[in-house]
Amino acid sequence: MGKIAIPRTNAEKRKRRHLRVRKAVNGTPERPRLVVFRSLKH
């Protein structure tokens, strides 16, 4: 990976991670959530 602007504060990091997660959830219908749920169980 090239040089990506690294967030300095924890708040920024959290915001960024949250955005990525939301993108993943919105990008595809319910399935990924089920997969995550399943992997958490096992």
pLDDT digits (tens, 9 = 90+) for 3-42: 776 667 777 777 776 666 666 555 555 565 666 666 656 5
Alpha-carbon distance 6 to 12, whole Å? 9
8 Å CB contact between 34 and 41: no
The confidence score (pLDDT) of residue 11 equals 75
What pLDDT score was predicted for residue 23? 62
What pLDDT does residue 6 have?
66
d(CA 36, CA 4): 27
Tokens found for residue 21: 């997660």
Q: Are 19 and 27 in contact (CB under 8 A)?
A: no
Q: What is the pLDDT of residue 14?
A: 73
Stated pTM of the model: 0.26
For residue 25, the model assigns a pLDDT of: 56
